[in-house]
Amino acid sequence: MKAYIEEAEKVLLHTYNRYQLVLDKGEGVYLYDTEGKKYLDFCAGIAVFALGYGNQEYNNALKGQIDKVIHTSNYYYNVPTIEAAKKLTKAAGMDRVFFTNSGTEAVEGAIKAARKYAYLKDGKRDHEIIALEHSFHGRTMGALAVTGNPKYREAFEPLIGNVRFAKMNDWESVISQVNEKTCAILLETVQGEGGIHPSREEFLKKIRELCDERDILLILDEIQCGMGRCGTMFAWQKYGIRPDIMTTAKALGCGIPVGAFLMTEKIANASLVPGDHGTTYGGNPLAGAAINKVLDLFEANNIIENVNSVGNYLKEQLELLAEKYEVILERRGEGLMQGLEFACPVGPYIKRAMEHGLILINAGEKIIRFIPPLIIEKKHVDEMICILSVCLEEEKEK
């Protein structure tokens, strides 16, 4: 492994401080490094690999499509992507979809649609977007502009302008920034990278009402919290509201790089038209085949029921851990998207866990994030808690 890492550090652009681990293969909820060591995976490639590793049905669907045709461009139609669009709009309760290659591109598309919608109404070019502090929406210039972490933005400014930041679950901070230029309010239904902060039902409902009253678009970023992770197909579905535009990615392709932004018919009819937006790869037949199979397997394998039962168990077990160890301040989150906030940086705990064969990730300096494959079982939660307890004891004794 050391040799691989040395080679990597000579050629890869140094944009990550990676863990000293070279992963080689996966099986179910376990990953193996190049030396054959086994790891229980509570990261799932950052909330991507929902179905676990080596799902034969998924793999065969991809192989079949590779042998037929991988790419044709968006000048033509292709069947897998038509099917994927039907299934995804149905699962999301939205009307129309545009497929992208990543999450950040889905956010770019959502922003463009919102600006176009406002532009068609009044012809002005100074519309504003309200986003939230501690949000994460991606690394391209538009998505970065609405990401509520000044450290990520600063060196790359000027980004797209006219973005204001409000606070999660703080109605005053939102309403005080709304004006006649506001074209959209954009938020993650449950903030991921920013530390696992769920939005409250009344907060979302008030924003929805405000948006209806003022013809402002509500954009929900479901790239991390969606696709069943919080116990419904998309996290907003349990709040009895519907966004005007939403984004998804990560688990949507379960490893094939895909994303999407979806919208209601009303917005679709009054925003982007031919020539306004495009992508070479987005929604190609291979991506379509992946999304299709993922959505089929979600249903066939009762993924969402599993998230609810195992998610509740995870919640109980994390609560117990938080009671037992003073260093843990709080548990947050829903379903299989949960976090423990520590009183200190969590890096040392994550390193130790890796030595003991458990892959965890952080969300900010002091939060461990639990975003396992959605097929995990209670016994895997037990295994994780057992290893994490050992790490907590070892750090205590240090």
Ligand X SMILES: *Cc1c(COP(=O)(O)O)cnc(C)c1O
Question: Which residues of the chain form contacts with ligand X (CB under 6 A)?
Answer: 102-104, 107, 136-138, 188, 192-193, 221, 223-224, 249-250, 259
Of 368, 373, 114, residue with least CA distance to 266: 114
Rank residues 107 and 227 by Cβ distance to ligand X and give the closer one.
Answer: 107
Give the H/E segment covering residue 183. Answer: strand 182-188
Rank residues 103 and 372 by Cβ distance to ligand X and give the closer one.
Answer: 103
Structure tokens at 29: 């909820």
Rank residues 184 and 223 by Cβ distance to ligand X and give the closer one.
Answer: 223
CB of 269 to ligand X, least distance (A): 26
Of 193, 261, 254, residue with least CA distance to 221: 261
Residue of minimal Cβ distance to ligand X? 103
Rank residues 102 and 182 by Cβ distance to ligand X and give the closer one.
Answer: 102
Which residue, chain included where needed, has tokens 């952080």?
362
| Rg, Å, the chain Cα set | 21
Of 390, 389, 329, 391, residue with least CA distance to 365: 329
Q: How far apart are CA 103 and CA 347, in angstroms?
A: 26
SS3 16: coil
Rank residues 30 and 192 by Cβ distance to ligand X and give the closer one.
Answer: 192
Contact 363, 333 (CB under 8 A): no
CB of 146 to ligand X, least distance (A): 10
Rank residues 33 and 195 by Cβ distance to ligand X and give the closer one.
Answer: 195
CB of 81 to ligand X, least distance (A): 19
CB of 51 to ligand X, least distance (A): 18
Rank residues 30 and 98 by Cβ distance to ligand X and give the closer one.
Answer: 98
CB atoms within 10 A of CB 285: 19
Q: How far apart are CA 332 and CA 324, in angstroms?
A: 16
Rank residues 220 and 392 by Cβ distance to ligand X and give the closer one.
Answer: 220
CB of 107 to ligand X, least distance (A): 6
Q: How far apart are CA 74 and CA 101, in angstroms?
A: 13
CB of 138 to ligand X, least distance (A): 4
CB of 124 to ligand X, least distance (A): 28
CB of 152 to ligand X, least distance (A): 12
Structure tokens at 200: 């409250």
Q: How far apart are CA 116 and CA 184, in angstroms?
A: 11
Count of helix runs (H) and strand runs (E) in the chain: 14, 17
Rank residues 136 and 281 by Cβ distance to ligand X and give the closer one.
Answer: 136
CB of 377 to ligand X, least distance (A): 25
What angle in degrees, to the nearest 10, is found between the helix axes of 347-355 and 378-397? 120
CB of 236 to ligand X, least distance (A): 13
Structure tokens at 337: 């998207």
Separation in Å, CA 49 to CA 7, 43, 104, 245, 259: 27, 9, 18, 24, 14
Rank residues 130 and 387 by Cβ distance to ligand X and give the closer one.
Answer: 130
77 CB contacts (<8 Å, ≥6 apart)? none
CA 213, 194, 153: angle at the middle one, nearest 5?
A: 85
Of 223, 276, 275, residue with least CA distance to 252: 223
